[in-house]
Chains A and B, each alone.
Chain A
Amino acid sequence: AQSVTQLGSHVSVSEGALVLLRCNYSSSVPPYLFWYVQYPNQGLQLLLKYTTGATLVKGINGFEAEFKKSETSFHLTKPSAHMSDAAEYFCAVSESDTGRRALTFGSGTRLQVQP
């Protein structure tokens, strides 16, 4: 079984400050890891994903995440927050090598950006 824990249901930062959203996962097989963003009344948009290879993954809108197997983490960062980054962020995991493709999501982190 796989699971995702997102620490902090709400995170508030000032515009221009570092954004750090935390994600820890549990998986019995090597994971595929994803970050999605959801704006109000919209579906989910992929920010970035890790499948294999380089553990530092760069995504859209200046976001990046690093896969740390020893810490079972996949934290999302952005050096400088913008007002348009205010949204709900979801970390998700799926299993590699098993053929099971369901995404298991965390409960989400709502990011507020203060002017």
Chain B
Amino acid sequence: DAGVTQSPTHLIKTRGQQVTLRCSPKSGHDTVSWYQQALGQGPQFIFQYYEEEERQRGNFPDRFSGHQFPNYSSELNVNALLLGDSALYLCASSPDSPLGQETQYFGPGTRLLVL
């Protein structure tokens, strides 16, 4: 059973460009969350998708947007890249549950460097 997969593994962009990161959830999971982990810090929640809708959003600007497809895979898009967007971007998947107690399983991440 494949776990959470993310692509690409590494990416280098320049300021002002746009980037798209991709995530395939663990089999049987219908909920996908995205986190940003800056160097030396803990992950910060960007947003969560369920049933192709953004269900919850963290404190990130509108430059960060996402999408979930019918097969539950997801994309994270970042427009007008800033140097400060350089980070490890983590995708996590989980099955939905009424009270949200299900474990989020993380992928290996995409490391984005903005020059």
Contacts and interface: CB of A to CB of B under 8 A. Distances in A.
Interface in A73-113: 90, 92, 94-108
A99 B100 CA distance: 6
B4 A43 contact: yes
Contact of A100 (B43, B100, B105): B100
A17 interface: no
Interface in B29-77: 31, 33, 35, 40-45, 48, 55-56, 58
A105 B42 contact: yes
A44 interface: yes
A23 B5 CA distance: 29
Interface residues of A, number: 29
Contact of B101 (A43, A44, A51, A102): A51
Interface in B81-112: 90, 92, 94, 99-101, 103-109
Contact of A36 (B31, B94, B106): B106
- Closest 9 CB pairs between A and B? A105-B42, A101-B100, A102-B45, A43-B106, A44-B106, A51-B101, A43-B108, A105-B43, A107-B42
